[in-house]
Every structure is written in structure tokens, then in C-alpha cells.
Structure 1
């Protein structure tokens, strides 16, 4: 009987995803943060001010949970809310100087952990991985 490569690919993808998520979660916890806090700060750090909806779509956290996390980060002085002058219903979230300083310190370390996950995988293989995962994601 032939091996079902679609099923095997799925199982390997799920196991790899779980292992990567656990490694990243462990790394982020070293900075005294939860993954949701880090991903929000990282989004603002790299993309600049965003609405709650934009953040929610970018980090795959539902808007109900994201408000709670934003409240916690705001209390810590790592981000701030800013009302839009043209439309008072719109609230932008932006990283503070303290949040930027924190990310300037910890993001390079976090990026190094990610780089270590891909040691021994050449650039062409990485691009193939990106392309294949995009196709799977689009079909899902």
C-alpha cells in the first residue's frame, strides 16, 4: 500500500508547528511576557501605530482578548492609545519609547532563537517552505 503523502505532510506540519510554538513560547517567557503581549508589541514595533482591528488581524488574537492584553501593556507603559482626530470612533495603538527600548533589547535575541530553528536549511529551501505553506494556507 502506498504512503499517503498528504496525510504525512499534514502530520509533520502539525508536529513541527507545535514544537516551534513551544520553543517560541519558552523564549518569550524568558522576557517575562506572554506570547500575546509579545506579538502585539512586535507588531507595533515593526509596523507602527495600528488600530485594534489591524492588530487583531495581524496577530490572530480575537478582539475581545486583545483589548485585555492592550490594557495590560498600557498599564506597564509599553504602549498607548491615541484617538484619531478625523474619526473619534477610531483608536490607534502605538508603542511608547519604553516599549521600543524593551523591543530594541529583546527582539534581536528572539530573532536569534528563530534563526537557530532554521540552521542547516539553505535559502532556497526556506523559500520553498514559504511558498508551499502559503499554498496550503490559501486552500484552507
Structure 2
């Protein structure tokens, strides 16, 4: 590769990073606005959404799946427990493991708000065709997998 071609590729890579970062921030703002309308914050919703779809889970695993530090997951679980949306369940086989589970109130809330959230996500990405969404998913996965490997 010539120096000029390499510089052009580097400039394009920088531009891609800036555009991707701005897009993520714009999407994040819309997602936060949607979730706040349910009187939840992003991490609370993430935990509830995970449990809604996966059922009872070890609290440590919940933290990993929603990308929270172990100290943060405890805080979020405490808050959701205070709101009556989540309960802690001791593992009968291992006292070190505590499970998180949605309460009936939490399940009811998710049954009510998740379809609305899904519609909000569809609106946010409505500027893309089905094919463009599939392409974006594949390209972003490719970027993420490669970035993890270096």
C-alpha cells in the first residue's frame, strides 16, 4: 500500500470512529428518553429486560450480561428491590450464589412497557431498511469482534 492510500484509509477510519460515536450518542439519548418515561434508568431497565427474557439468574451473571461492575449491580438490584420489581433468592445448593428474579409487579411492568420500548427502538432505526439494518448488524459485529481480538 502506498503512503497516500494508507493515509486515506487512516483518515477514513478516524471519520468512521467520529460518525459511529456521534450516532451511538444520538441513539443513546433517545433510548434514555424512552426508558425514563417508564420511571426507570438505563441500567435498571437493562437488568429488568434481561430477567424478563431469561428468567431468574445469578446476580453476578446479570451484572456481566448488562455490562455492570459487581459494585454497581448490587446498587441497581437494591434500587429495583426497593421499587418492588425484583427479589433476591438464595441458591439452595451454594450459599455464595444469590439469584435475581422479577416479582409479579416487575413482570407486569415489563409486559406493559416492553412492547412500547420495542416500538420506540423501531422508530429510532426507521431510517434504515430491513436490509440496511441486517448489514449494519453484520458490519458492527465484525468491527466489535476484531476490536476484541487486537
Instruction: Please state which band the TM-score falls in when normalised by the shorter chain.
Output: over 0.9
Asked whether 1:7 is paired with 2:14, we answer yes
Asked whether 1:28 is paired with 2:35, we answer yes
**Cross-structure match for 1:77:** 84
Specify which of 97, 116, 121 is matched with residue 114 of structure 1. Answer: 121
TM-score (norm 2): 0.88
TM-score (norm 1): 0.94
Residue 100 of structure 1, CA deviation: 0.5
Query: SS in structure 2 opposite 1:85?
Result: coil
**Cross-structure match for 1:48:** 55
The gaps in structure 1 that reach 5 residues or longer are: none
Residue 5 of structure 1, CA deviation: 2.0
Aligned counterparts of 1:63 and 1:137: Cα–Cα separation in 2 = 23
The gaps in structure 2 that reach 5 residues or longer are: none
Report which stretch shifted further, 3-12 or 110-119: 3-12
Rg larger in structure: 2
Residue 54 of structure 1, CA deviation: 1.1
RMSD: 1.4
The alignment of Structure 1 onto Structure 2 pairs a total of residues equal to: 140
Specify which of 23, 29, 44 is matched with residue 16 of structure 1. Answer: 23
